[in-house]
Structure 1
C-alpha cells in the first residue's frame, strides 16, 4: 500500500524510499516540537482561509522539501524542516482586532523567533529561516539556501490557502499518520 504524500502524482522522480524518509523526518520533528514546546497550540489559530497555522506550517515543511528535492539543492534537511515548521510560531490569532496585531506581516517573524527561542534550541540557519521568511515584505533577505526555500514555499502555500485550493490537497497529500494525529 502506497502512502499518500505531499508530492503525490507531481513528483514521481523521487522514489518511495526517499519520500518515506522525508515523511518520517517531518513526522518525528512534529512529535518532538509538540512534546517540548507549544507547537500544537498553532492548531488553535487560523492562518489563511480555513487553514490553521499548524496545517500551514506542516504544508510549508512539505513544500520546502519538495522544492529542495526538485531543484537538487544541497542543504541541511533537518534545518529546512525545523525552520519551516517554526516559521510562524507567533502563537496568537492575528485576525482578532487588537492593536498588538497591527502590522502582523512585518512583526510576526520576530515574535515567532522569540517564542521558538523560548521553547527550543535553534541554530543560526533556523533563526534566519524564521526571521526572513516574509521577504520581500520585510526588507532584509534570507542569507542561507534553507531560508530562501522556506520563503518561497511559504508564499506558494499562502496563495493556495487564500484561494481555498489547499484544504482538500493538504488532507489528501499528508501522510495518514499526520492526518489522523494532528489535523481536525
Structure 2
C-alpha cells in the first residue's frame, strides 16, 4: 500500500508555507484539475513537501525549496485546453506562475529560479541551484505518481473485472 506523507504533522514544514497556504491565490489552485486524479493545490503541496524533505536531508535551503515548490504551478487555466501563441505550456506557465507568485510574496533569487526552471527537460534553461533541480525532478515524479499509478490501478481493476466476467460466462 502507498505510504501517505502527512505534511500537516510536520510543523517545521508548515511554518515555512503557512502564510502562503492561507492566501486565496493558493487556495484557488484546488479548483483546477492537474493530473486527472489530483487538483493543482494537492499537486503543488506534494511537490513542495517531497522536495522539502529531500532538501532537508541534503542540508539545503528548505525554506526556498518548500515555498518555490508550493508556488511552481501558480496559474489558473486548464493546461490541456488553453494554448498560447508565444510558446508551449511548458515554457509559458512557469513565467505566469512566477508573475503570480511575485504579486503574492517577496521571492528570493532561489525561489524565482525554482519556479521558472521547474520544467527543465521540457525547457532548455538548466536550474541554477540544487534546490531548483530537486523541485524539477520531484515535479516529474509527482506527475507520474498522480496520473500513471491511479490510471494503472484503474486499468488493472478493469482487466480483473473482464477476466471475471469471461470466466463466469465460460463456466456459466
TM-score by length of 1: 0.71
SS in 2 for 1:27: helix
Q: Is the aligned partner of 1:103 residue 2:88?
A: yes
Q: Cα RMSD over matched residues?
A: 2.6
- The gaps in structure 1 that reach 5 residues or longer are 8-18, 167-184
Aligned length: 148
Alignment check: 8 A CA contact 1:80 1:126 kept: yes
CA distance in 2, matches of 1:56, 1:26: 16
- The structure whose Rg is larger is 2
Deviation of residue 148 (structure 1)? 0.9
| Deviation digits for residues 20-58 of structure 1 (CA, Å, limit 9, x no counterpart) | 5xx213333443113345110100001102201100011
Alignment partner of 2:26 out of 39, 52, 74? 39
User: Which residue number corresponds to residue 82 of structure 1?
Assistant: 67
Q: Tell me how far apart the structure 2 counterparts of residues 36 and 78 of structure 1 sit (CA, whole Å).
A: 18
Q: Any conservation in 1 of the 2:29–2:39 contact (CA below 8 Å)?
A: yes
TM-score of the pair, normalised by structure 2: 0.75
Q: In structure 2, the residue corresponding to 1:66 is in which secondary structure?
A: helix
1:132 aligned partner: 117
The match for 1:94 is 79
